[in-house]
Amino acid sequence: MSRNPSFSELRALLDEVARRYEKARAGYEFDFDEEIEPFLKGNEETVMSIRNMKTDFRFNAATRKKAEEEFMELLMACHMRRFSKKVYREKYKFLNMWLAHAEREALFGCGH
């Protein structure tokens, strides 16, 4: 069942991704079965709800799909110490920018 995305849910999830990435970079090793898998399963629906966001001339269907893909990649990669800091920052910045745009333009909710 699809649901409407929430800015606060997506923003909180992006903040948690940042927290986990910093923890991994500091040397913490996440347990896949106990920490990573439940995190992925528990947040996949939230990320996939991006497809229910409205679009505008800037945040079009292709950008919305890319945001969903980038978010899913970060959900996994944030647990890996060796994940490139440069790539992480680029993906994080991309998502942060589009979340801010969607909030500003009231794109949360159903619509295409």
Q: What is the pLDDT of residue 78?
A: 97
Spatial separation of the C-alpha atoms in residues 44 and 72, rounded to whole Å: 7
Spatial separation of the C-alpha atoms in residues 84 and 49, rounded to whole Å: 27
Q: Does the reported pTM lie above 0.85?
A: yes
Average predicted confidence (pLDDT) for the chain: 92
Domains of the chain plus CATH, in order, are 7-104 (1.20.120.440)
How confident is the prediction along the chain (112 residues), in pLDDT tens digits per residue? 456 668 899 999 999 999 999 999 999 999 999 999 999 999 999 999 998 899 999 999 999 999 999 999 999 999 999 999 999 999 999 999 999 999 999 888 655 4
What confidence tens digit (pLDDT) does each residue in 66-77 have?
A: 999 999 999 999
CA angle 22, 103, 2 (to 5 degrees): 85
Q: 């996939």: which residue's tokens?
A: 48
